[in-house]
Amino acid sequence: MKGPLAAMLLLAAACSLGAAPLPTAAADVGGSHVSLARGSYCWSSGGQATCADSADPEALLRTGYLKPVTAPSGAPVKVTFNSAPSSVENRLLWAASGTVTAAASPGASFVLAAQPGRYVYAITGKWQEGDVSFLLPVDVTS
């Protein structure tokens, strides 16, 4: 009985040893370097799979989970990851004005909105283990 139990424990330990942790991301925007909050994701690694949905941006701002960075309109944004994704897309997720018409664009670099206001951008990376979205809240100034 000890043999099969030991083999199961060894197998379980081996499966979790190779688990890849969720990636992290940061952005350079308006002269600031900020860590990005994780949004929704699905991740499968080391024999375990997890999916999590993020609350809506307005609720995340209200609770303080998202803390906007201030940057001028049209400022360039460059997002970097601690491990390279196979692809990245960015999109304007939320605007205080309530008007969001932008479609997703490829790449980890983009420019901020031209109009002053509060915005939340979603940057989604795709890895072999899954997809992870990161949120960039910005107070855009003129």
Distance CA 35, CA 67 (A): 10
What is the pLDDT at residue 4? 47
Domains and CATH numbers, the chain: 19-141 (2.60.40)
pTM: 0.86
* Over residues 22-48, mean pLDDT: 97
Q: What is the pLDDT of residues 68-112, one digit of tens each?
A: 999 999 999 999 999 999 999 999 999 999 978 778 999 999 999
What is the pLDDT at residue 95? 96
Tokens representing 79 are 């997002």
